[in-house]
Amino acid sequence: MSRILHPRPNPIVGAMYTLRDLDADVIIVHGPAGCGFMASRSLEEAGVRVLTTAMSESDLIFGAAEKLEETILQAVELFNPEIIGVVGTCSSMIIGEDLLASIQTVGAPCIVIDVDVHACMANNIEGVIVTMESAARAGLIDSAELERQKRVMRETTEMERSRGMASRAYLPPRRSPTKLELAQKVLDTLAAGGRVQVLMNAKKELTYRFADINLAVQEAADALGGEVLHYANLDTELGLPRIRSYARNISEELASHGIEPIITGGLDEYAAAGPRADELSRTESNALRMVTGIPHALPTLSMDDLLVTDQPRQLANYIRQGHPWAVGEIGSHTLVMGTKSIIPSETGETIRRLLEAMA
């Protein structure tokens, strides 16, 4: 297959989000002021302080070790952090900056880990793995979790290569088709006494929005009859600290509404949880399947399945493949950053409005 032409997350962004999941208090990007700008803004919404060493043209000639050391000291003074992550960039890589040497020179009174990455290292999971290896050296995770994370990343890479956004050279982003017909199909199935399976296979914090669909479908079943079976990758014992907290928060909120889903895996292992959800759901015949989050992680999607994704390019892939029931919760990333509770989804709200109209 030819190389991938559409933009995708790079190792720098992968490293930054992984530091967030490790509950780092501060991330220092050692590069130009604009490097990782959009990711930095999103991470600050999630409560992580993101600083830059703001390398200049002269730094590319004379080096910027002093700037990095000064920034580490400023971070300590301003925020009194427990964990700082120093992330490399293309600029620091080109001039051969030694992140670890600067960290050791400062001797900060907290954990400071070096993440020596740049955007040309292939795809974003390389940044995740380098971050995990640094975290393991610092004692933030054990060797078992490091190996699990590497396995999860390999599975994710293979899923995207075979069925996802790396499966074609170029995927144009698509806006979502209307959700009215999809929502009506759910309500009609329940009103006829049928069974709906909601298979949530979501990625990390995005689960805060997809879980709203579980709530809405359950509300519809409570009002109309029928049966809902819930599946979710909400294992509270798997993943980095922040990821486990997401799973706990969402599980508790679902339970407060009487929903206790069948667990298919953790929030960071959606590539492996998808096949488990697929296999488990196939044991229930004559059910309408609604797959939310990352539907293409399920190996045997059918044209009867209802698919809900947050990825505009993946939505384009589903539509190209002929899936008639594919819709998008576009823009979810900006809505979920920093939240600690389930937030409304367009799909969930459409189900609720149609339900009100039927009353």
Q: What is the pLDDT of residues 70-88, one digit of tens each?
A: 999 999 999 999 999 999 9
Among the CATH numbers 3.40.50.1980, 3.30.930.10, 2.160.20.10, 3.40.50.300, which is that of 11-163? 3.40.50.1980
CB atoms within 10 A of CB 217: 27
DSSP string, 255-266: HHTT--PEE---
- Statement: residue 147 has pLDDT above 70: yes
Domain ranges across the chain: 11-163, 180-358
Segment 260-311, tens digit of pLDDT: 999 999 999 999 999 999 999 988 778 999 999 999 999 999 999 999 999 8
Torsion of CA 301, 152, 157, 265, to 10 degrees: 20
Quickly tell me which residue has 């009103």 as its tokens.
Answer: 191
Average of per-residue pLDDT across 159-174: 68
Start-to-end Cα distance in the chain: 52
Collect all residues with Cβ–Cβ distance below 8 Å to 152 and sequence separation of at least 6: 268, 269, 271, 272
pLDDT score at 1: 43
- The answer to whether 51 and 37 are in contact (CB under 8 A) is no
d(CA 254, CA 149): 27
Give the separation between CA 135 and CA 145, rounded to whole angstroms: 10
For tokens 């790079």, what's the residue?
Answer: 10
Is the pLDDT at 247 greater than 70, yes or no?
Answer: yes
- pLDDT score, position 310: 92
**pLDDT band of 168, cuts 50, 70, 90:** low
Tell which wins on pLDDT, 164 or 185.
185
9 vs 295, which has greater pLDDT?
Answer: 295
DSSP per position, 140-166: SS-HHHHHHHHHHHHHHHHHHHHHSTT
Residue the block writes with tokens 């499966």: 167
Fold classification of 180-358 is Rossmann fold (3.40.50)
3-state secondary structure at position 249: helix
What token pair was written down for 188? 């009609």
Which structure tokens are listed for 41? Answer: 């803004």
List beta partners, residue 163. none
| Helices and strands, number each (H, E), in the chain | 15, 10
Is there a contact between 268 and 241 (Cβ–Cβ < 8 Å)? no
- At residue 248, the pLDDT reads 98
- Nearest one of 230, 235, 274, 220 to 254, comparing CA atoms: 230
- Tell me, what's the pLDDT at 164? 64
Mean pLDDT of the chain: 92
Do residues 195 and 229 make contact, with C-beta atoms less than 8 angstroms apart? yes
Q: φ, ψ for residue 84 (rounded to 5)?
A: -120, 135
- The answer, yes or no, to whether residue 112 has pLDDT greater than 60, is yes
Is the Cα dihedral 264, 235, 114, 78 positive or negative? positive
Question: Do 180-358 and 11-163 have the same topology in CATH?
Answer: yes
Query: Considering the chain, what percentage of its residues have pLDDT values greater than 70?
Result: 94
Whether 87 and 113 have beta carbons less than 8 Å apart is answered as: no
Question: CA 316 → CA 123, 176, 309, 348, distances in Å?
Answer: 21, 9, 10, 21
Rounded CA separation 334/319 (Å)? 24
